[in-house]
Amino acid sequence: MVRSIKAPIKERFKKAWNAFNARDESFNGGYQYIGPGTYSNPDGIRIGCYSEGTIINSIYTRIAIDVASNNIHHVQLDKEGRFKSIVKGGIEDCLNLEANIDQSGKDFIMDVVISMLDEGSIAILPVYTTRDIRDGSFDIYSMRVAKILQWFPEHVQIDAYDEQDGQHKPLIVPKNSVAIINNPLGPIMNEPNSTLKRLVRKLSLLDAIDERNGSSKIDIIVQLPYSVRSEGLEARAEKRRKSLEDQLVNSKYGVAYMDGTEKITQLNRSVDNNLLTQVEYLTKMLYSQLGLTDSIMDGTADEKVMINYQNRTIQPILSAIVDAMKRVWITPTARSQGKTIKYFNNPFRFMTVGDFAEASDKLTRNEIMSSNEVRDVIGYPPSDDPKADQLINSNLNHDKTTIVEEKSIEEKEVENQNGI
């Protein structure tokens, strides 16, 4: 089965245009002036820096998993703008089957989210396409997440992985050929003095202190029974210090003896406790700003908590990803034909089947939503039944004539002309 799927893709790749194979052409080789360059988005969020803090990584991973759990599809809409069917091949395969030779669709979306959260702005590069991505309309066979290195008026310089030789390479590509995604939570996560950046700095300090405390240093002061005011007394004090060090180093259990007139004071480390308090405070603040809770992180959150988190954090990220893709890759002609890229964030998925059935029944029975509107929310195509588009209380009797679609004026005129 795997072979039957991959074989056609490989065949298409043989004839496909590859973004990396055009690196030495004029737009990428420096022969043509393309405007002044900057190292940050001149009209967006500043690029962040990577942190290896466990807290930060756990937040990135949690959000990425939850975003990737929602379905993103290349779809055909009906005349009412509702989901009708999935458009097979191309973008759809990249998002839900294989984005590239190394990543499945879900792996790719997780990569997009984690990179975006960390960098602030990233690009999705169509790698294998039916034609040169600079020439307008094209079908996409594979795509990669790329880091944005520089911004130009109509271009961006990116760094992307070339699977042909396993190397990361810089490319300069038109902005209208790559999907540029900006983190909607950037002010919280990517600004220099944002809550997340402040937390990263505190975590770095805490790590440095942990390394120091984990070393062989004890950080003590020995008070000797005499003043060190001459070279002779200083040499005597130094000899005593080395004696204590030797005792501790050579002792199996770290035990040493001292003179009864000597006093030892361990340095005060209240700064460590204060730093830990700041880390806890900033973590709590970051959780609050991102709609996160301990229950979300450990998987015990109830329906209300999850819906709040989805609305505040997950949906804005999904919208940023989808809007960037369809703005660049869905042409005006395709849009006029009802093609688009759409995410399905089903608000009922946190319910049991019984609770969902009850909720959907209440929505339709109280004429809040039609059956087709409910189906659209959960990612189902509309029903052909005319009643599915009407606000009808199924518990009440309705005159059959009220649910029969009226003929249009045009249809009536045609019938009159034909003598019907």
In angstroms, the CA 360 to CA 371 distance is 8
Q: Across 201-355, where does the E strand assignment appear?
A: 220-223, 263-266, 339-344
List of long-range contacts for 229-238, beta carbons under 8 Å, 24+ apart: none
Report the Cα 307 to chain-centroid distance in Å.
Answer: 18
Alpha-carbon distances of 395 from 26, 27, 279, rounded to whole Å: 69, 66, 57
pLDDT tens string, the chain, 420 residues long: the values are 333 344 455 565 666 777 777 654 444 544 455 666 666 655 444 434 444 457 899 999 999 999 999 999 999 999 989 899 999 999 999 999 999 999 999 999 999 999 999 999 999 999 998 877 766 677 899 999 999 999 999 999 999 999 888 889 999 999 999 999 999 999 999 999 999 999 999 888 877 776 666 555 666 777 777 777 888 888 888 888 888 788 777 777 667 777 778 777 765 555 456 888 899 999 999 999 999 999 999 999 998 899 899 999 999 999 999 999 999 999 999 999 999 999 998 767 666 777 778 877 888 888 778 888 888 877 788 888 888 888 877 666 555 444 444 445 555 565 666 665
End-to-end CA distance of the chain: 56
Nearest to 117 by CA among 45, 17, 224, 53: 45
Q: What is the pTM of this model?
A: 0.70
In angstroms, the CA 381 to CA 392 distance is 19
Beta-carbon-side half-sphere exposure of residue 66 (alpha carbons within 13 Å)? 24
